[in-house]
Amino acid sequence: MTGDPIIPDTTVAPDQGSSNGLTAPEVTGLRQQFGFNDLPVEKKHPVLKFLSYFWGPIPWMIEAAAILSAAIANWEDFAVILLLLMTNAVVGFLQERKAENAIELLKKQLAPNARVLRDGTWQEIPARELVPGDTVHIRLGDIVPADALLGNGKYLLLDESALTGESLPVEKKPGDTVYSGSIVRQGEMDAKVTTTGGNTFFGRTARLVQVKSPRSHFQAAIERIGNYLIILAVVLVSFIFIVALIRSESFVDTLQFALILVVAAIPAALPAVMTVTLAVGAVSLAKKEAIVSRLSAIEEMAGMDILCSDKTGTITQNSISIGEIRTFPGVSEQDVIIAAALASKKESNDPIDMAIIKKAESLSGEPGTQGYEVIDFVPFDPDSKYAKAKVRNAGGTVMEVAKGAPQAIASLAGTETVLASTLDGWVTAFAEKGYRALGVGRTRPDGTWQYLGLIGLFDPPREDAAATIAEAQKHGVNVKMVTGDHVAIAQEIAGKVGLGPNILPRTALTAGDGDESRKQMEAADGFAQVLPEDKFRIVKILQAGNHIVGMTGDGVNDAPALREADAGIAVAGATDAAKSAADIVLTKPGLSVIIDAIERSREIFRRMENYAVYRIAETVRVLIFLTLCIVLLDFYPVTALMLVVLAILNDLPIMMIAFDNAPVAAKPVRWQMNRILTLASILGVLGVVSSFILLWVAREYFHLDAGVIQTLVFLKLAVAGHLTIYLARTGQQHFWERPLPALSLFGTAEITQLAATLIAIFGVYVMTPIGWPLALIVWGYALAWFVINDQVKVLLFRKIHPYS
């Protein structure tokens, strides 16, 4: 146990408000005084944020090129280079703002709620709307929404590691202060809010424990692509620079050209484009009722090949009803229901408690308030596996009642052999019908416990569960049921939803984490009677087998497995602790939302892959072509100014890839750099060949002026470069075999191609004008090579790296 942190001064006296909670006018007044219950967020001023785009290695190189242009009085180049600098800053600023706004929207949707007593009724409101003096109900799995003084209830066991860094739980009792950000591990109590927002202990200290998560597959792929292109650019540009100096060319002109070439070749926007693509995708997923809390989880969802699915609320409806009641001799069904209802709490909003209370009300009015007084209540404890209450009946007799796992109630009642065998038979019979057994007990006048009977709780499969699981399997995702229920219940439900019968109880799991355990888990259709630590172990072992594993969960004890999984998914109705540990939070029950998330994730992944292919291909195409021309022909095929204009024209179409139409892969997808580099290299080399042939013919056979040749090459690089987007987005398929480009991508690409054409025709930016005939020839040449490139790309790629 750890000592409490220093208690900050309370904002309002603990006795603020009445036993009916605050009234609406009181809440309004307190909010005006203390504000909302959230931490102030320091946001960088938009102007400062914009100016930051002019600071960094890439902007420095552009700025250096601009300074060099001014130093040699080349004001045309200076103006266009400044335009490039501004374009990069404006596009980057706007796109990042769009991504930040999308992420902010998602954060608001993930904001926790709180159960609060106001105007005499319990209601659920966003936690940020709490004010000092509110009475809140805190239970297992909640994140404490504000600093508060504990009142009604027995105890809470809290995880305060987010505040103190100490992992051991802390026990709190009535009169103790609980702190915002703590997680309830056990217990259930009422509390009076004393401090909110930035005045809480959490807000004052701002000591959030930020656990550094391991680098995702997405981050690793971005790093590999970036390193590959940077190394290629630096090597080739250095080679060009050295050759130019050996030839005694102008040092300043060569340096300016080298700087601009590096800027054009290095994918400075790569991380930004990828992040924007993920942010746009996250908004799309939110519309499908899947809220993303970690953007890189989208990529993990796209590659997920095993989904460990919780049964309750995901495969089943989480609409619990009482299917059957069995009683021991001398006990009526009404006795069992009333005792179970007295061991339940309406404000907890627990599905089992609500089903029992509803049944009890239909039998005898309002148990617990009609003839009974609850003196003490102990909420369900995962360790003891029962909830217990001390009650007084109308005659003044005090007794205890309990409900929970059949074996837990049996341990209280001290069942004999005959009773134990009867109990086991009932549990098995219930399980074979798909019923979950709930034991109910009560104390006799002498204080000894009596086993009253069992309640069979039925949670039917969701109507869409079988079709959804079949759909997941078509997508290459192996769904495995994970439940704490009896094996027979799991097998019954599995049979109804199309899962296999190989359901393993935790006792049958092979010890250790070796190949034998992994193969056993891979072969299983599900796992029953599992504990939270079993879920964590299942995820770890499957991940060791090179699987990308998703895990669904809803409780505080699911948090470790959700955090460990590649894609942790908190299902609808999950506790705050589960939501905080998960990567994706579902707001609609069932597996169908997960299928939507998988499909959207695979579309998003394909867009990112398309951009990576395009960016690598463009860098290879421009760098190698320029290197060959300068080294072998001693000729600069484009000027530094043309490189700047090309970079500007490329910015907008590149960003539009985030909105492109993309197919849904039939199987899980992962970053396969060998395939990406193969496809990009094919496109890049074909671009070098076509550009070199055009230059050779124009120079050696038609003997065109050097300025005309440079404008021809500029136009060819612009037109063919944008056509490369269409080749990159179709992978190993022909360009007509995939969904058509989105209008935003197609329109932007064609508008910028038209702009490049007009610049070349009329000789804008001190380029040599080439007129309409030569421009049309370049267009015809680029389109002809577009068709040739598509045929060669498909032929070579399918031979080198065919998709299985």
Active site residues: 310
Cα 327 to chain centroid, rounded: 47
Strand-pair partners of 158: 170, 184
Q: Is 769 exposed, middle or buried (0-12, 13-18, 19+ CB in 10 A)?
A: middle
Amino acid identity, residue 706? A
Joined together, the tokens standing for residue 401 give: 């009642």
Residue listed under structure tokens 């060569």: 254
Q: Extract the tokens encoding 550.
A: 């998703």
**Contact yes or no for 496/459 (Cβ under 8 A):** no
Helix (H, G, I), strand (E, B) or coil at 170: strand
Structure tokens at 265: 């070749």
Residue for token digits 């034998």? 516
Angstrom distance (rounded) from CA 303 to CA 112? 29
Farthest CA pair distance, the chain: 114
Candidates 328, 388, 332; CA nearest to 360 is 332
> Contact at 8 Å (CB) between 161 and 2?
no
| Distance in angstroms (rounded) separating the CA atoms of residues 584 and 64 | 44
Residue pair 376/400 in contact by the 8 Å Cβ criterion: no
Note whether 786 and 724 are within 8 A (CB): no
* Local structure of residue 18 (DSSP, 8 states): B
Long-range CB contacts for residues 783-790, cutoff 8 Å, separation at least 24: 783/723, 785/686, 785/690, 785/720, 786/720, 786/723, 786/726, 786/727, 786/735, 788/686, 788/690, 789/683, 789/686, 789/687, 789/690, 789/727, 790/727, 790/730, 790/734, 790/735
Find out whether 440 and 454 touch, Cβ atoms under 8 Å. Answer: yes
Q: Which of 438, 441, 475 is nearest to 457 (CA)?
A: 438
Burial of 641 (C-beta count, 10 Å sphere; 0-12/13-18/19+)? buried
- Enumerate residues 6+ apart whose C-beta is below 8 A from 327: 333, 335, 336, 452, 453
Tokens representing 201 are 């202990």
User: 78 by DSSP, 3-state: which?
Assistant: helix
The size of the chain, in residues, is 804
Which of 50, 61, 497, 428 is closest to 266 using CA atoms?
61
For residue 108, what are the contacts with CB-CB under 8 A and spacing of at least 6? none
With contact defined as beta carbons under 8 Å apart, do 98 and 279 qualify?
A: yes
Backbone angles phi, psi at 484, to 5 degrees: -90, 0
Helix (H, G, I), strand (E, B) or coil at 799: helix
Q: Are 794 and 734 in contact (CB under 8 A)?
A: yes
Backbone angles phi, psi at 56, to 5 degrees: 145, 170
Q: How far is 314 from 609, CA to CA, in rounded Å? A: 31
296 contacts 223 by C-beta, under 8 angstroms: no
In which residue are the tokens 């591990």 written?
Answer: 185
Residue pair 670/755 in contact (Cβ under 8 Å)? The answer is: no
Nearest alpha carbon to residue 586 among 576, 598, 573, 595: 573
